[in-house]
Each structure stands twice: as C-alpha cells, then as structure tokens.
Copies of this chain bind each other. A is one copy, B any other.
Amino acid sequence: MAHAHNHTEPQGADLTVAAQTTLEKAGEQWTTMRASVFAALASFEKPASAYDIAEAVSKSEGRRVAANSVYRILDLFVGANLARRVESANAYVANAHPDCLHDCIFLVCDSCGQTTHLDNDTITKGVRNAAEAAGFSPVRPVIEVRGRCADCEAK
C-alpha cells in the first residue's frame, strides 16, 4: 500500500483547519462565507442538500443566503476535494480527509438517511479498469449503495 490509512477522522475545529489548509493550497480563498458553508455542511450528520445548507447558513448568519451562492461554494469544495456529492441523494457531504484522493463508495441508508463512506481502492480500480476496457476514459466513478444500515436493520 502506498500509504497506510489510519484515517483518524478530523472533527470540528481540526476538520475546519484541514479544509482551510487544503483550499488555500489549491489557490483559493478561505472566506467567511466559505467557512460558514463548510461549517454548516460539516454540522449535518447526513448528506445535506444545497438548500439545507442555505437554510442553515441563513439561520446562523441571521440573513438570507441564496441557494445559488451555496451551489457555487459547494462546487468549489467538490473541485478541491473538501466535499463530495452523493449523486443518488442530490446532496453533499464534507470530506473528512481532503488531503488524500480516493474514488469513494457511499453507503446510503434508505431508512434513516445515514451515509457512511468506504475507501476500497481494489473495487474502485476494478471499476476504472472495466470502464477503460470498454474504451471509456473514466473521470469520476460514482459508486453508491442504497440499502439499510446496521442500526435500522437491527430494529
């Protein structure tokens, strides 16, 4: 393995610092608006839609923040690997380790919405290879699994 993944997930302040560092390393500014959006995004424990975030930021800032501003910032975040889009949920999650790149796998619980995140490079490489074998130049694999999480399954 190229790098061992201990993946102690940064949380709260640490996570924010990691995000800021990464964004600035990408040559982008860490503005107050971006910080607010990131904080809101990270505060959700489930994938959040742009509108969810707009609402959360509006509340915390005490002024109306429009969805399109949030979209701009989310796009920026996704481009800089600070956030990921969950396609099958039309929603976004903060990326706990923006410094390392993965095609990642999301497990989305249809019952409670809880979404967990796997890194399994064997699988994702398999997907990329299969796509290439079909003459396709893969850019962004979308690998998500809908189902029921352990908690919901236990109930």
Chain A positions within 8 Å of B, measured between CB atoms, are: 87-88, 105, 107, 109-110, 116, 118, 120, 122-123, 126-128, 130-131, 134-150, 153
Contacts of A88 in B (CB 8 A): 87, 142
Tell whether, in the assembled complex, residue B140 and residue A130 are in contact, meaning their CB atoms are under 8 Å apart. Answer: no
Smallest CB gap from A151: residue in B: B135
Q: A139-B148, A140-B146, A144-B142 are in contact. Are A105 and B120 (CB under 8 A)?
A: no
Contacts of A149 in B (CB 8 A): 135-137
Per CB-CB distance, the 8 closest pairs between chain A and chain B, nearest first, are A135-B150, A139-B147, A138-B147, A142-B144, A140-B146, A87-B88, A137-B148, A131-B145
Identical chains bound together, number: 2
For the complex, give the distance between the alpha carbons of A109 and B139 in Å.
Answer: 10
Smallest CB gap from A88: residue in B: B87
Contacts of A140 in B (CB 8 A): 145-147
Smallest CB gap from A128: residue in B: B145
Contacts of A136 in B (CB 8 A): 107, 109, 116, 145, 147-150
Other than the known A118-B131, A122-B126, A136-B145, what 11 A-B pairs have Cβ atoms closer than 8 Å? A105-B127, A107-B136, A110-B139, A116-B134, A123-B127, A126-B126, A131-B145, A135-B149, A135-B150, A138-B146, A143-B143
